[in-house]
Chain A
Amino acid sequence: GQQLNQSPQSMFIQEGEDVSMNCTSSSIFNTWLWYKQDPGEGPVLLIALYKAGELTSNGRLTAQFGITRKDSFLNISASIPSDVGIYFCAGQITSGGYQKVTFGTGTKLQVIP
């Protein structure tokens, strides 16, 4: 099955630094989603993007739906220790009532206090 290329795979950053991660695909998507997974928990939705070029913020998080519909990025500004976790992108294509969701391989974020 198809997988999205998500990078970086992992990163260590100092508290207060900004973080950027991205996903690319060879296929187009109708929707891009960004999830965060805390240890021992299921993924929780952070941001949903529905239109090419869309730029959306949720607090310190900002995500964009690439204009080609084949990529998306997530930025976290002024990182804090509770930002630690695994971040997943997901591309979603819906056609004729059929929903196909493909997840990225995840970016593991560690924040050093």
Chain B
Amino acid sequence: EAQVTQNPRYLITVTGKKLTVTCSQNMNHEYMSWYRQDPGLGLRQIYYSMNVEVTDKGDVPEGYKVSRKEKRNFPLILESPSPNQTSLYFCASSFHSGNTIYFGEGSWLTVV
């Protein structure tokens, strides 16, 4: 089954404790991205990657890092999480830029 898989789905952590949200897709997609969803703000892009070793900032990259060492994986790294990064995070992928975007099921992150 074609899918985008995120882990963890739910996490409560403390300020400053580094964490990584993993994302994996099994569709051989080149394009992957991360979004955060906040009430009243919709989905905002954090980072995206056009292919392996090619990443770039989205609209709200501050406080986040990403890496794309393999085509299927695109982890989101919060080096020093802060409460304003409490949000619902979505990983997404598509075959090429301009193609249909497929979303993961989301990761609820709470930073206290």
Contact = CB atoms under 8 A, between A and B. Distances in A.
Interface of A: 1-4, 6, 9, 30-31, 33, 35, 40-45, 48, 88, 90, 92, 94, 97-99, 101-106
A43 B98 contact: no
Given A9-B40, A103-B44, 15 more contacts: A1-B44, A1-B58, A1-B59, A2-B59, A3-B42, A42-B92, A42-B103, A42-B105, A43-B90, A45-B102, A48-B100, A94-B97, A98-B50, A99-B97, A102-B45
B39 to A, nearest CB: 9
B47 interface: no
25 contacts: A1-B44, A1-B58, A1-B59, A9-B40, A30-B98, A40-B106, A41-B106, A42-B92, A42-B104, A42-B106, A43-B103, A44-B103, A45-B101, A88-B42, A90-B101, A94-B97, A97-B97, A98-B97, A99-B31, A99-B48, A101-B45, A101-B101, A104-B42, A105-B40, A105-B42
Given A42-B90, A97-B50, A106 B42 contact: yes
Interface residues of B, number: 27
A45 B103 CA distance: 9
Interface in B46-62: 48, 50, 58-60
- DSSP class of A's interface residues: helix, strand, loop or mixed? strand
Nearest to B100: A45
A47 B27 CA distance: 20
Contacts of A104: 42
Contacts of B35: 103
